Structure 1
Amino acid sequence: MPQDAKIVRWREWDGPGSEHLVLREHAGRLLADSVVIRSGETQFAVRYRIACDAGWRAESVIVNVIGDDRTLVLASDGDGQWTRDGLAMPELAGVLDPDLTVTPFTNTLPIRRLALAAGQSAEITTAFIEFPALTVVRNPQRYTCLEAGRRYLYESRASDFRRELEIDAEGLVVDYPDFWRRG
């Protein structure tokens, strides 16, 4: 394992599912490479790779559902223009962040990119990827920094869903109540 790599593991809040993520920083870019095993009613495993620039803006998202021939390939210019498998996705115009429902890692991207001070909040829209269907839709959200470097409030602006996230000093989720915890 290269010295510049960080390994993070999460486990499902109430189940045997887990995630193993390797985060590398190299030449001004960030690369997250992960495998997620989901339990529960719909069981599946996913491998994903997300590449970001130094400002935590997503450049690419590649997702494979293990045991399935489908692969999702999203690319972004960092300014809100996306393609899926090489075809333009005008419905994602202005979106900067992907949000994969299978992982708490994608919360880190807006947390790091926005760098909010305690008491500040920001409304964003994400490219929300649903599993195992691999559908991609716009999803309006809000992040509020409750305690810098420690706690954020995540809220969906499309529903009443909200969770208080505990994060570490690097903006990586420690606890996402009812879903994931560092393991």
Structure 2
Amino acid sequence: MVMVVWHGVASDSVEHLDLTVRDGRLRARSIVDLGPERLEYAVELDPDWTFVALSLRSSDGRTLELAHDDGEWHADGSPRPDLVEAVDLDLAFSPFTNTLPIRRLGLAVGDAADIVTAYVDHESFTVTADPQRYTRLGSEQYLYESRDSDFRREITVDEDGLVVDYPGLFARTPR
């Protein structure tokens, strides 16, 4: 089991994540304190870090169930054909989901990949397709770029691809 704690740089958020392997699948469980609100989520991934399922719950009772199987997406049981190009999950409030494409893509230094994620907004619990680009700059450095805005950040990760520093947003608390 891997345990990670991140804190928000520009906010008072704190995330506690446990990552385990069970029945051949990766499972992440996390609690994210966002000040007055608390989010709890569980993510299931295939061994190659491909997203399978998300269960998200807020302290005010909102929930979201998101699943991806054989190229089809479902949100709360309803088909989401607008997400057909998405492979990865992106939770706006967590640096953990940057690890999914970093691990799944296995980029060599200097290589880049354009992807589409299923982006979950924690305030509205909406899910939208979000085009992104990851470029591997070094052994532990990646450039994240939004392909539909000018947002970009150089992210530092550890040997497992877990975010150590996401400038202006998140930093991992030393173990």
Q: Say whether the fold is shared (TM-score over 0.5).
A: yes
Give the residue type in structure 1 aligned to 2:116: T
Counterpart in the other structure of 1:99: 90
Give the distance between the partners of 2:67 and 2:104, measured in 1 at CA.
Answer: 18
- The 4+ residue runs of structure 1 with deviation greater than 4 A are none
Counterpart in the other structure of 2:153: 163
Structure 2 residue 64 is matched with structure 1 residue 72: yes
TM-score, scaled relative to structure 2: 0.96
CA-CA distance at 1:177 after TM superposition: 0.4
Native 8 Å contact 1:29 1:53 kept in 2: yes
Give the distance between the partners of 1:60 and 1:176, measured in 2 at CA.
Answer: 25
Give the distance between the partners of 2:31 and 2:85, measured in 1 at CA.
Answer: 28
TM-score, scaled relative to structure 1: 0.91
Q: Any idea what the Cα deviations from partners look like across 1:77-104, whole Å, max 9, x if unmatched? A: 1x43100111110000021111000000
Structure 2 residue 119 is matched with structure 1 residue 123: no
Q: Which residues in structure 2 correspond to 1:81-100 (within 5 Å)?
A: 81-100=72-91
2:48 is paired with a residue of what secondary structure?
A: coil
CA-CA distance at 1:17 after TM superposition: 1.9
Give the residue type in structure 1 aligned to 2:22: H
Give the residue type in structure 2 aligned to 1:23: L
Give the distance between the partners of 1:100 and 1:176, measured in 2 at CA.
Answer: 14
Count of equivalent residues: 173
Give the residue type in structure 2 aligned to 1:112: R
Q: Any idea what the Cα deviations from partners look like across 1:27-78, whole Å, max 9, x if unmatched? A: 3200000011124xxx421111100010101110111011x2221000111x
Correspondence for 1:138 among 109, 129, 136: 129
Give the residue type in structure 2 aligned to 1:50: V
Give the residue type in structure 1 aligned to 2:57: N
Native 8 Å contact 1:21 1:34 kept in 2: yes
Give the distance between the partners of 1:50 and 1:27, measured in 2 at CA.
Answer: 14
Structure 2 residue 7 is matched with structure 1 residue 11: yes
Counterpart in the other structure of 1:60: 53
Question: Identity across aligned pairs (percent)?
Answer: 46
Give the distance between the partners of 1:161 and 1:28, measured in 2 at CA.
Answer: 35
The CA RMSD measured in Å over matched residues stands at 1.0
Give the residue type in structure 2 aligned to 1:31: R
Give the residue type in structure 2 aligned to 1:153: L
Give the distance between the partners of 1:28 and 1:120, measured in 2 at CA.
Answer: 29
Give the residue type in structure 2 aligned to 1:70: R
Give the distance between the partners of 2:132 and 2:73, measured in 1 at CA.
Answer: 19
Give the residue type in structure 2 aligned to 1:165: I
1:147 is paired with a residue of what secondary structure?
A: coil
1:108 is paired with a residue of what secondary structure?
A: helix
